[in-house]
Structure 1
Amino acid sequence: MSSARTLSGAVLAACLVAGLAGCGGADKDKAAETPQTPLLPASAPPSSTPPPPKPVDPTPAAKTKIMADYKAYIADRSHGTVTNKPSYPYEKFMTGNALSALKSSVGGMYLIESKFGGSITFIKGRVAVINLKAKPATATVYACVIDDLTLTSKKGEVRKSGGIRLSNHDQVVLIGGRWKVTETQTNKPETAGCA
């Protein structure tokens, strides 16, 4: 009986070895079927690096921002003038001589109890000169506006500007991220701006 046990143990061991050998063989076959990524030959050219990006010209974006701020300035100036309050915050879109001159005009009319009415309307404009390297940056705007303001005196007399077209040549300066009018010059409509 012990020889039968020995024989059956030997058969069992032989079956285990054969089974393991069969499993290993299948793994080798699967490995042979899996495609291998070939290595690049030593003579392959190195990957090319992309060219550096071209510098972006900030001028077009600056001109767009200047004109947006300038249009807002005209609307704000019109609104502020007809409020007839010298304390109106014109500083939002103005600075320098332009600011002091407008405040003086509105303040003077307030003291003699004359009141503004009507509006100032932006028609068209363009940035004529720009210097983004200046500290702070500066530009010149040529614009065409319609001045349709009225001025009513304390006695009730009304003076109308009659909706005249004015050609503005205004200097703007970049302060705190906003282009503010610092110098303003009103010209005849046939000059650059309305022409």
Structure 2
Amino acid sequence: MGTAGLAACLVAGLAACGGQSDKAAQTPETPLLPATTPPPSVTPSPKPVDPTAAVKAKIMADYKAYIADRSRGTVTNHPSYPYERHMTGNALSAIKSAVGGMYLIGTKYGGNMVFVKGRVAALNLKAKPATATVYGCVISNLTATSKKGKVRRDGGIRASTHDQLVLVGGTWKVTENQSNDPREPGCV
């Protein structure tokens, strides 16, 4: 082969063999994984644990005890009932005043109040004393009988409560209480 032929063959060979197009230069040299290969296993991260869960459980236990004690105290019809076990502050003053007033006019209560559900809506353990807010749902089945015998029944009234609690001597006590429309956060 002459020089011209060799040169032509060489140019043709380079174009066919060694001279890759831009598209060919961009393809990876490692083969792609087959579509059926599962992705690498990912371990789900553990669910975070609420560090205040035990405190919230204690708050709710004390709150349920408050509802039961308030119910018992109301139907004793006596203002000397020891509401102090689960109440303090304005809540204690208000219940003693209400029960004392009913006692003076001769109204007698019967029935009960029942805790339905609740949740700790706010918690401040750094406050002195520690504070919490509880949204609750309570059903009142109380009856009030006047001195003349007239009976008024609550008949299963649902009340949504929004109560403030403080930690006193290891017990969460209600210090402010408010009953609301049942469509408020406690009963929904």
TM-score (norm 1): 0.70
- Cα deviation for residue 58 of structure 1 reads 4.5
Residues 1:170 and 2:163 are matched in the alignment: yes
> Partner residue of 1:67?
60
> Partner residue of 2:96?
103
> Could you list the runs of 4 or more consecutive aligned residues of structure 1 that deviate by over 4 angstroms after TM superposition?
none
Q: Please state whether the residue corresponding to 1:100 is helix, strand or coil.
A: helix
1:8-61 Cα deviation digits (max 9, x unpaired) = xxxxxxxxxxxxxxxxxxxxxxxxxxxxxxxxxxxxxxxxxxxxxxxx965111
- Cα deviation for residue 162 of structure 1 reads 1.4
User: What is the CA RMSD across the aligned residues, in angstroms?
Assistant: 1.1
Alignment: residue pair count: 140
Match runs of 1:19-168 below 5 Å: 58-168=51-161
The percent identity for this pair of structures is 74
- Cα deviation for residue 190 of structure 1 reads 0.6
- Partner letter of residue 115 of structure 2? F
- Report the structure, 1 or 2, having the larger helix content: 1
- Cα deviation for residue 185 of structure 1 reads 0.8
Larger radius of gyration: 1
Q: Please state whether the residue corresponding to 1:154 is helix, strand or coil.
A: coil
Rounded Cα–Cα distance in structure 2 between residues aligned with 1:106 and 1:112: 10
Residues 1:193 and 2:176 are matched in the alignment: no
Rounded Cα–Cα distance in structure 1 between residues aligned with 2:67 and 2:178: 14
TM-score (norm 2): 0.73
Q: Which residues of structure 1 form unaligned runs of 5+? A: 1-55
Rounded Cα–Cα distance in structure 2 between residues aligned with 1:170 and 1:148: 20
